[in-house]
Amino acid sequence: MAERSFAREVEDLKLGEGDLFRGEGILAITKALLQSGVSYVGGYQGSPISHLMDVLADAKPVLDELGVHFESSASEAAAAAMLSASVMYPLRGAVTWKSTAGTNVACDALTNLASSGVKGGALIILGEDYGEGSSIPQERSHAFAMKSQMWLLDPRPNLESIVKSVEDGFELSEASNTPVMMQVRIRACHVHGQFVAKDNKRPAYTIKEALENPVRDLDRIVLPPVSITVHDREKIEKRWPAAIDFIKSRKLNEWFGPDEGAVGIILQGGMYNSVMRALQLLGLADAYGNTIIPLYVLNVTYPLIDDEVSAFCAGKRAVLMVEEGHPDYLEQAVNSILRRRDINTRLAGKGALPVRGDYTAAVLMNGIQAFLEEHAVALLGNRPPLPSADAVLADPKVKALNAVVPARPAGFCTGCPERPIFAAMKLVEQELGEHHVSADIGCHLFSILPPFNIGGSTMGYGLGPASASAFNVDAGKRAISVMGDGGFWHNGLTTSVGNAVYNKHDGVIMVVDNYYSSATGGQDILSSRADNPERSTNNSIVNAVKGIGAKWVRQIDRTYDVAKMRDTLKEALTSKEEGPKIIVASSECMLNRQRREKPLFSKAVKSGQRMVRERFGVDEDTCTGDHACIRLSGCPSLSLKHTDDPLRDDPVVAIDNTCVGCGNCGEVSEAAVLCPSFYRADIIYNPTRRDRFAAKVRNAVIGFLQRRREARRVVFG
Amino acid sequence: MSRPINPISVDEKPIAIAILAMGGQGGGVLADWVVALAEAEGWVAQSTSVPGVAQRTGATIYYVEMLKPKGGQMPVLSLMPTPGDVDVVLAAEFMEAGRSMLRGLVTPEKTTLIASTHRSYAVGEKEVPGDGIGDPLAVVDAFDVAAKKTVIFDMQTLAEKNGSVISSAMFGALAGANVLPFTRNAFEAAVRAGGKGVEASLRAFGAAFDRARDGKPDKVARKPDKLLPDAPVSVGHPKLDRLLGRIHSEFPPVLAPMLYAGVKKLVDFQDPRYAEEYLDTAARLLVHDRDAGGAARGFGFSQEVAKYLAIAMAYDDVVRVADLKTRATRFERVRKEIGATGEQLVYTTEYMHPRAEEVVGTMPALLGQFVENRPALLKLLERLFSKGRRVRTGTVGWFVALYALSSLKPMRRTMLRHKREMAHIGSWLETASALLPANYDLASAVIGSRRLVKGYSDTHSRGQGKFDKVLSVVPLLKAREDGGTWLKRLVQAALQDEAGKSLDGALATVRSFA
């Protein structure tokens, strides 16, 4: 079970009619699902939607009471396929993942789902991981909606609108027999706000009922000719018009400001708050949403409602399309609508606004100003001074900061069990030279950054070893690929390991097993070691790879054994055996281990139990300030300090009290033969009488020898 | 489509607060407190973050806005800061304060910058073989340009002293800075409502509140001043007083503090006689220094000799390590460093990895050379000794073993390692003093190049290699007036990266002079 408890958040899911919900956007969505009478929920964890999965995983009693089935899907593809339950049955289902990463994985199922059409509302919640803080390539989910014909919601980023959008989404899906996607950007997922809750609703139709009354409708199965003659026709002739009607009649899109105006702005719902701030800074709106520029807010960005668009544009000199990211799908579509209806309103968009990147309030402020300067300069009035940091940023004293403010990329946590794996790899490379290293997705990717600088590519989740598959020719070196346990179970077992076994790939596959899907927040997976009453855990990775045909397999149970790690890797790189050389390196994610063990330790100490805490230290007298140990570690607790000793030029290494005693630095300094400065200190809390006696004897002998030597030592005072 | 149109009123503006922290610093807790505070006071507050992978060490920004509702209308708040429009910036680390300015979040018309002066070094700073730590004074310089008001002190240490974490201290500093329209009581109520570690949080909060009120910023320095006291005239021990007497009588006063530091180090390393040898060499080189016109140059050459000769003579060998690890003062220091208290017992385990080289180095010179010339013997030693040893210094057996090793000190002068070190020192000083008449600066820089020789085993050989590489271009620099400057540049380059890429680049430049 994930080591972090979401018990407090689960309480929020129980709020009833009229209660005030206060919390994060993604939790509001979770609550909205239960208010909408959802029957089943699935998904794959990942920023920024992990908490939806985490909270539901901890919410078993609430879900049981409502009769909601929740599943931690093996991948986004599995989650998307789960929505198949809404094809034949009037079941409301929701799935979630990080997009576009997860949408890519889910596409196969989504295509089929969109072709079949749905009877029960099918909602796909996309954590749109775009812009600052994103961890994936910069693409838009919009294209997926267009190519498969699914509807795309993009609600205004406040909790009330987001919750309403979930409820509308289910209804829209049912009204138009089409799966609906709802995209929520990073900041909106994490925004703290409030909304007035409703009672949770039991599903009108349950999964049990469906299971016991199976339905088989040939028209809903994706098989030619149905997919061509029925589904494709339905999409255009039935589902599309139904959606347009629903969106129009229910007014899912919104209008703000005056009806008439020389100019107006069309915007994605998600851009609303930033556009409002930009207008406010330009003196065209206030802090309470009152604007003198007409706004047409697309809470549904696909499909566009031609009538609404043309009515908004008609009679205006110019309209600005605010659409974050590229390509400019919306701008093109609006242009088409205007052209077809021969409306001569000028449309500005990309050009006034940048083609790519975050549309921050500052970017929008400048873009809207440029738009108004061209089309309605009078509105800018006497131009209040705009906020700007340009003068400050141009100052040499501020510019000088560029040289001293260090980059601070994410890295391995203190005590991370993956650190010694890459320290060992670096040691092997010092001996055998650099190798091609294919990385995967997950915490281990941080090896690409300093101080390890290991890893030359990353191609997707579970694809690390597959991305090394071309490197399978007779050569003086072998390719190394790295994959986490998360990627392994996501699809790495077949796509990467199976592929390597079948094609007799000669490379080395390092599976980093830290007992959790750690990078996404420490969720359990198939090989997690903890007993989880709701799930099947403790399924061995070694058995899995052997089952798929791998022969050369080594299990390392303590990654901190750097010497063993190094020797095993060396053996893998030099072994004569055919086929992939698979090393499964296992140690528990330290972040989760500490979450579990720290409270237990404190409790035991408080109750008077004898406990031993280990941590590491550096003798500054013997440290020569070369920092070789840091180049093999990068541990946050392994730091530096300047000394006042005039005979030392460079800062010495120091370990701070956040050290968790994982042992990596000692093992590394031993394996790499660095220096004798590292020591491990065992601190015995609540020593027993025996401990105290032993200490007394030791102190007597050691103290005597020490005093003897001190007495003879000639020193300056 | 007719809607009531409200007139716009541009007077009300939300208060904008940006928090810059690193993953794990509790930036989220701080943002939650600010939100809770505002909500309890009847304001609408909104916070957002882009934590990305914040459970680790990356830089993270939390952003909070707040405004009172007006006539039933709720404010529309922004999800991200706008440069030039931020009222308060809280930086939970000093370079993050620098980053906030680089991002344009701090502007002189508007922004109060509250920053902790403590540093948490980035990997890029730590991994440099020399000193790669960024200069915090650059951040201090930028305050005057960028901030309207600053509250600057070490909130990390203050929090630790009060048994809490930095977020409580920062919340206290925010209250003390008097930039939000809420009372101290309201702030404290928010902490209480949070419910976790309330007592300690409030202690740190209170201390930081007072500290922010008293207004004086903590002094920020790049590094502590080096401790270079004047040499005393006498310490009451005849052998030591003799050394002090020599420092005062044989050397110009400008050299005395560094010579005193050197003498102290070498007496501790070996014995007073060893320090005498150090002064002998320094005195001999001082003569050359004088002849080369050193008096007019503040005896820069001898200054370098006083420092680097002491460092070179106090090389790190097994005897030294055993000595340092067994001292009573070391036992006390460890207890203090790891924060052991009261009746807690502490045992240390040293991670040592002796190699055949160390064993041979400890042998008498002739025997050592004999073994070295016999690969089979050497291999045997390697097999016997070369492996990681976990030495439990706090147990009697291991302590006695180390103690015995350190008692070899009187024999050190006969050991092979000592002979090697002395030979290396000899040729190094020779190279330098031969240059003195022709190029004073270059000669001084040759002495300073010794900085490159440090570390143990592989690290030591790499340093030695860089040292040799740097000195290899001395003939090319001899005739150049700026030869010394160039050699110093080479040393700096050598300290920049492990593989010596910067050094190779710099060397290529120097070779192009020829």
Using CA coordinates, name the residue in chain B closest to A312: B1
Report the pLDDT averaged over residues B76-84. Answer: 96
Are A266 and A334 within 8 A, CB to CB? Answer: yes
For A192-217, give the DSSP string: EEEEE-------SS-HHHHHHS----
State the Cα–Cα distance between residues A302 and A145, nearest whole angstrom.
7
| Average pLDDT value for residue range A618-628 | 92
Distance CA A167, CA A35 (A): 8
Question: Using the beta-carbon criterion (under 8 Å), do A410 and B272 form an inter-chain contact?
Answer: no
Determine which helix (DSSP H) or strand (DSSP E) holds A609, and give its type and residue range. none
Q: Do B122 and A406 touch (CB under 8 A)?
A: yes
* Position A320 in a domain: yes
The continuous run of DSSP H or E covering A554 comes out as: strand A552-556
- Give the angle A555-A558-A564 at the CA atoms, nearest 5°: 75
Taking CA–CA distances from A680, the nearest residue in chain B reads: B349
Instruction: Provide the CATH number for the domain around residue A615.
Output: 3.30.70
Residue type, A378: A
Give the dihedral sign, CA A117/A123/A127/A131. positive
Å between B295 CA and nearest CA of chain A = 23
Asked if the structure places residue A712 within a domain, the reply is no
pLDDT at B6 over 70: no
Is residue A717 in a domain? no
- Give chain B's count of helices (H) and strands (E): 24, 8
Which tokens go with A326? 């590229």
In a domain, residue A395? The reply is no
For chain B, give the number of residues.
514
Q: Contact at 8 Å (CB) between A660 and B329? A: no
Chain A residues whose beta carbon lies within 8 Å of the beta carbon of residue B45 = 192
Q: What is the pLDDT of residues B92-121, one digit of tens each?
A: 999 999 999 999 999 999 999 999 999 999
Is A518 found in the same domain as A504? yes
Distances (CA, A) of B138 to A409, A639, B94, B101, B155: 21, 21, 11, 11, 20
- Asked if B209 contacts B178 with a C-beta cutoff of 8 angstroms, the reply is no
Regarding predicted confidence, which is higher, A428 or B458? A428
φ/ψ (deg, to 5) at A552: -85, 100
Shortest Cα–Cα distance, A250 to chain B (Å): 13
Name the closest residue on chain B to residue A359, using Cα atoms.
B80
CB-nearest partner of B223 from A157, A642, A701: A642
Section B187-196 average pLDDT: 93
In a domain, residue B20? The reply is: yes
d(CA A443, CA B213): 43
Q: Tell me what the mean pLDDT of segment A91-109 comes to.
A: 98
DSSP letter at A451 equals: T
3-class DSSP state for residue A435?
coil
Which residues of chain A lie closer than 8 angstroms to B320, CB-CB? 622
> Where are any strands of DSSP class E within A437-479?
437-439, 457-458
pLDDT score of A313: 98
Residues 6+ apart with CB under 8 A from B215: none
Tell me if B104 and A410 make a contact (CB, 8 A cut-off): no
Asked whether this complex has an ipTM greater than 0.90, the answer is: yes
In this structure, are A156 and A278 located in the same domain?
A: no
Same-domain pairing of A432 and A538: yes
Residues in chain B closer than 8 A to A615 (CB atoms): 338
pLDDT at res. A166: 98
* C-alpha count within 13 angstroms, C-beta hemisphere, residue A105: 27
Which residues in chain B are contacts of A675 at CB distance < 8 A? 455-457, 459
- Taking the CA of residue B163 and the nearest CA in chain A, the distance in Å comes to 13
Angle, in degrees to the nearest 10, between helices B396-406 and B318-326: 130
A39: helix, coil or strand?
A: coil
The answer to whether position B356 is within a domain reads: no
- Given this model, what pLDDT does residue B5 score? 61
User: In this structure, what DSSP letter does residue B409 have?
Assistant: G
Chain B contact for A431, CB < 8 A?
no
Residue A515 lies in a domain: yes
User: Would you state the structure tokens that stand for residue B368, as one six-digit string?
Assistant: 């050592």
Instruction: Give which of B292, B282, B225, B316 is closest to B437, Cα–Cα.
Output: B292
**Closest residue to B264, CB basis, from A283, A401, A716:** A716
Residue with tokens 């009806």: A259
CB atoms within 10 A of CB A26: 25
B341 touches chain A (CB under 8 A): no
pLDDT confidence tier of residue B498, bands split at 50, 70 and 90: confident
Tokens of B283: 């005195």
- Rounded CA gap, A234 and A84, in Å? 18
Residue B2: predicted pLDDT: 46
Q: How far apart are CA A636 and CA A651, in angstroms?
A: 16
Cβ(A543)–Cβ(A527) below 8 Å: no
pLDDT of residue B25: 83
- Same domain? A72 vs A171: yes
Pairwise CA distance, residues B408 & B403, whole Å: 9
Exposure class string for A70-94: b at 16+ Cβ within 10 A, else e:
bbbbebbbbbbbbbbbbbbbbbbbb
Q: How far apart are the first and last CA of chain A?
A: 58
Contact B351 A676 (CB under 8 A): yes
Residues 6 or more apart whose Cβ sits within 8 Å of residue A220: A87, A88, A116, A117
Chain A partners of B32 at a C-beta cutoff of 8 Å? 192
d(CA A144, CA A162): 21
CA dihedral A410, A415, A419, A424 (to 10 degrees): 160
If asked whether residues A244 and A268 sit together in one domain, one would say no
Give the pLDDT confidence of B164-180 residue by residue, as tens digits: 999 999 999 999 999 99
| Cβ pairs bridging A and B (under 8 Å) | 424
Is A146's Cβ below 8 Å from some Cβ in B? no
Residues in chain A: 717
The answer to the question of residue B189 being in a domain is yes
Cβ separation of B8 and A292 shorter than 8 Å?
yes
Q: With a CB-CB cutoff of 8 Å, which residues 60-119 of chain A face chain B?
A: none
- Secondary structure letter of residue B452 according to DSSP: G
* A570 and A634 inside one domain: no
Supply the pTM of this predicted model: 0.94
Ramachandran class of B303: left when φ > 0, alpha when ψ lies in -120 to 50, beta otherwise: alpha
User: Looking at residue B1, what is its pLDDT?
Assistant: 42
List the end-to-end C-alpha distance of chain B, in Å, as a whole number: 84
Do A564 and A492 touch, CB atoms closer than 8 A?
A: no
The whole domain housing B186 covers 15-214
Cβ atoms of residues B315 and A695 within 8 Å:
no
Using CB atoms, pick whichever of B145, B237, B262 lies closest to residue A397: B145
Same domain assignment for residues A566 and A631 = no
Amino acid identity at B476: L
Q: What residues of chain A lie within 8 A of the CB of B107, using their CB? A: 387-389, 392
- Considering the domain boundaries, does residue A133 fall inside one? yes
Write down the pLDDT at residue B214: 87
Q: What is the CATH number of the domain that holds B185?
A: 3.40.920.10
Radius of gyration of chain A (CA): 30
pLDDT in tens, A381-440: 988 899 999 999 999 999 999 999 999 888 899 999 999 999 999 999 999 999 999 999
- Looking at the predicted structure, is the pLDDT value of residue B52 above 70? no
Residues A73 and A126 grouped into a single domain: yes
Which ranges of B347-439 does DSSP label H, i.e. alpha helix? 356-362, 365-372, 375-385, 396-406, 416-435
Shortest CA distance from B224: residue in chain A = A644
Residues B198-256 pLDDT 10s: 999 999 999 999 999 987 888 999 888 999 999 999 999 999 999 999 999 999 999 99
In chain A, pLDDT over 70 holds for what percent of residues?
99
Task: Clarify whether residues A440 and A581 are in a common domain.
Answer: yes
**Helix locations, A151-271, DSSP H:** 159-176, 186-190, 207-212, 226, 232-234, 240-249
Based on the domain organization, do A299 and A237 belong to the same domain? no
Cα B305 → chain centroid: 24
- Which residues 47-106 of B are in CB contact (within 8 Å) with A? 47-59, 67, 70, 73-80, 82-85, 95, 98-99, 101-102, 104-106
Residue A327: its pLDDT value, please? 97
Mean pLDDT score of chain B: 93
- Residue by residue, what is the 3-state secondary structure of A471-529? CCCCCCCCCEEEEEHHHHHHHHHHHHHHHHHHCCCCCEEEEEECCCECCCCCECCCCCC
* Contact predicate B244/B232, CB 8 Å: yes
Nearest-angstrom CA–CA distance, A509 and A466 = 10
Q: Are residues A328 and A381 in the same domain?
A: yes
Asked if the Cβ–Cβ distance from B56 to A630 is below 8 Å, we say no
Question: Is the CB of residue A132 less than 8 Å from the CB of residue B63?
Answer: no
Q: What residues does B91 pair with on adjacent strands?
A: B20, B115
Interchain pair B50, A698: CB under 8 A: no
Joined together, the tokens standing for residue A625 give: 């300030």
DSSP B67: E
Task: Give the DSSP letter string of B201-258.
Answer: HHHHHHHHHHHHHH-PPPP--SSPPP--PPPPS--S-HHHHHHHHHHHHHS-GGGHHH
How far is the C-alpha of A164 from the C-alpha of A142, rounded, in Å?
A: 21
Pair A310, A174 in one domain: no
Q: Which two tokens stand for residue B445?
A: 């820089």
Instruction: Name the residue range of residue A161's domain.
Output: 7-206+217-249
**Is A679's CB within 8 Å of B400's CB?**
no
Please give the pLDDT value at position B56.
Answer: 61
pLDDT in tens, A349-380: 999 999 999 999 999 999 999 999 999 999 99
Q: What is the pLDDT of residue A212?
A: 97
Position of tokens 């004086």?
B216
Looking at residue B195, what is its pLDDT? 83
CATH number of the domain within which A328 lies: 3.40.50.920
Q: Say if residues A289 and A259 touch (Cβ distance below 8 Å).
A: no
A621-641 per-residue burial string, b: 16 or more CB within 10 A, e: under 16: bbbbbbbbbbbbbbbbbbbbb
- Selected residues 671-710 of chain A with any CB under 8 Å from a CB in chain B: 671-676, 678-685, 687, 691-692, 695, 697-698, 701-703, 705-707, 709-710
State the total domains in chain A.
Answer: 4
For residue A683, pLDDT beyond 80: yes
What confidence tens digit (pLDDT) does each residue in A228-252 have?
Answer: 999 999 999 999 999 999 999 999 9
Query: What would the pLDDT profile of A267-296 be if each residue is shown by its tens digit?
Result: 999 999 999 999 999 999 999 999 999 999
Tell me the backbone φ, ψ of residue A702, rounded to 5 degrees: -65, -45
pLDDT at B54: 41
**What's the mean per-residue pLDDT of chain A?**
96
> Do residues B125 and B101 make contact, with C-beta atoms less than 8 angstroms apart?
no
A594 contacts chain B (CB < 8 A): no
